Structure 1
């Protein structure tokens, strides 16, 4: 009955049962290995000696030296081969290498190596440094890369024995300009080509040194220590005249006398080692002590002006502007800062009024005369470093006032010798050199 078959399992067909048997037979066949029987060749004899098929190899006996030699692993061998890198004395500066940096900004600089072999000096070494590194850290990085690349000759183990100088495109080093300040960051300088220069080692001081005193009548004395006793006394006289800024006019000479023997001059070609007394007096030739006069009053005036330059002084000048009318401003100059403060005027609109600005003295690059007009006025330019670029201000004043301001600012710049001043002079000198070469 159909109702009685409800829920019962349906019988498998013959085809399904047959397929199941075939699968089981195949599984059994996999476990069976078929070996083909072949007849034995006639020349084969199982009683023959087949020792030549398994020939014994001689094993060398361990010697005394091999017993003491410890077995080294692959890691130990790699460490031994990398001892040159691990012994790099400048390894501490490797962290400033910018080649592997992704997030930190870097800067690529071509470094000419003045200590390299002559054939390699014309080819710079490419160095990538992080921009927040200092100049002395860049020097250490250069030494580290130089040592890693196996360049010759070997460097000294101290990075402080080297300095960085401005270099031309052909690798020529301009020694007229000072080296980069080791304390400044690399990002402050925009040079793409520099030169690594080895500093000269100071000569070892001599065991014997003398104290030399040169008295200048009515003007004080000079006392200094001299270690090189092979110098003639003439060099001491030249040094005193240079420090005193005494100009030698035609027909005028100076001599040295022993302080305790007035009127007795000392031979200027005498070596210091041959003297027994080092207390002298500066006397003008054919004169007696006390008759030394100022040869050039202008030198003393210039010296006084130089020492008075750092004191604050304010000038009223006109600020020259291209698109606007000239603005009257107070220009205050001192050894600490320069102030540009507009003079209050009721008729000036707020939109055109000049804003007051102040620059630190270290940020002043130059002060030069631009033009002398026939109406008694002069135009001079003040160049300042603002942020990441130079900015200039042009002023108009009377000839005498303009000359005084220029002299005052330049005296301050010569006293400070700031890095901004050095960099600006180096850049300007490089531009002038290129203009003359064209």
Structure 2
């Protein structure tokens, strides 16, 4: 009988092969206890009793074989470790792939002369190249950094965020810009700009100046962006002087021009030795004079000076603007400096109004007079606006202690939708704001009350709505209840978050 016919030998050989080829160790832990158990129950040659193990320790007949307990440190999981055989096969595959890249050239052992060996292994001559010492060598990066320091910083770097070449997923616009300040031979060749469609004209001008400076063009630009403007240009670069320059405050998406020209504004007149005096006329209310330190002051700052001097409160639907005294009906650019206006006399008007209207005169009342009359009771006839049914005419009574809403009885009104009379304490009122001014001359305003910010919307003519909003706000400013304080703080937080989001975009 050969070894291949011995069953015990074959079983031990197979088990040993399992144990040696298993990297996890599970076969060894499961098969070996089984072999020991068999050696206990099977007598070998009669010299060792079945109740004794190979070590001579008694084994109980009641001990039953059981599976190996799973331990936390055992390497089980979704991914089983690879065996040594799989790792060896992987190494063999890599070596085989590497061998395919090697080219084998057989060497024929034939008698060769010294001349033949010299021809096969010809000596190559390497010319001596005079190289600079290591101490004098400068890398390309160091050279570029040195040049950047010499060139200086781009003064228009803040506008690089509007460059559309470096953005993905945002709408952009490609425009050819003709440079009127360039040399005559360079003017026919425009500068191509890719700008974000959400940018304003003033941002586009800054981006043009940034790219112009970045490309080292000549001549150098003035660092003041407001010295330049954009005009409509023909395909050959000729500026169309019949149209004014684009308004710096307008968004770029509003215009459909693909070719524009960057034009340098005329330098403002030299400032006199004495500070200029600006005169602002108020229709039917006299005028105010302001001494200005520099002609570079913006027109919006002059407007704020007038509003502060006259104690005018600007609110939604009630804003003011400036016009040149000799050009009625044309509002000035509030972002432009005074030096570009070519005049020192202006007129204050309300938006969407003319100089002859009397609403401007009525708005100029002192804070003291408003405070004295705001607490006196007064009733107004307005319409309460409802979302799902017709507006209801009501009496809106306002005093320093309460706000009353009393519906005007109507025989045709249904009992189901009839408005009930309500009264709110002045301390429960949070705000009163103007919502919308319609083209028909009617206005919507909102009364916000309670800590939950519930509200009622009303509609009235412009004069009545303005008076109601102003009266309630004067009362709220004097009382300053906890609900009013919380509402003001909440509104300030929202405005700060909105400004921060705009800065990040």
TM exceeding 0.5: no
Given the two structures, how large is their TM-score scaled by the length of structure 1? 0.35
Given the two structures, how large is their TM-score scaled by the length of structure 2? 0.31
- Structure having greater relative contact order (Cα 8 Å, sep ≥ 6): 1
* Structure that is richer in helix per residue: 2
